């Protein structure tokens, strides 16, 4: 009977340790927008956005983390990655003089793990 109690206790401890180990981080995804410089035409803005998106796809997790600044206080830097292919939109801007300009906007989801502050 004592060995059965010891076995059950050991099983509970093992289950608790596994649950704690698995709960030590969380996978999060945030939406990020990266804007390009102002240009004169919509086509130039789309090209600038596409170029920026292609460049972002080549970055390492550390470089992505640097690109997006401090996206979360507990981010595990080596886990930062693009969660989707992203897409480019264009914003039209008109200044006080009525002059139009265009900005490419790269829209993407960035995924990363975070440390659990409670552990």
Q: Could you read off the pLDDT of 69-115 as tens digits, one per residue?
A: 766 667 777 888 888 889 999 999 999 999 999 999 999 988 888 77
How much is the mean pLDDT over the chain?
78
The pLDDT score that the predictor gives to residue 72 is 65
More confident residue, 59 or 3: 59
DSSP string, 15-47: HHHHHHHHTTEEEEEEEEEEE---BSSHHHHHH
Place of tokens 């693009």: 82
What's the confidence (pLDDT) of residue 92?
97
CA distance 52 to 110: 15
Predicted confidence (pLDDT) at residue 19 exceeds the cutoff of 80: no
Give 58 or 64, the one with higher predicted confidence.
58
Q: Among 50, 59, 62, 112, which Cα is nearest to 86's?
A: 50
Confidence check: pLDDT of 35 > 60:
yes
pLDDT value, residue 50: 97
């Amino acid at each position: 009977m004592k060995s059965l109690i010891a076995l059950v206790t050991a099983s509970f401890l093992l289950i608790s340790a596994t649950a704690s180990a698995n709960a030590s981080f969380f996978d999060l995804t945030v939406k990020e927008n990266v804007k390009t410089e102002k240009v004169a035409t919509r086509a130039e803005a789309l090209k600038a956005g596409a170029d920026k998106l292609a460049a972002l796809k080549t970055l390492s997790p550390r470089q992505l983390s640097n690109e997006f600044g401090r996206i979360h206080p507990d981010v595990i830097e080596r886990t930062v990655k693009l969660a989707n292919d992203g897409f480019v939109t264009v914003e039209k801007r008109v200044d006080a003089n009525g002059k139009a300009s265009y900005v490419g906007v790269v829209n993407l989801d960035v995924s990363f793990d975070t440390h659990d502050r409670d552990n």
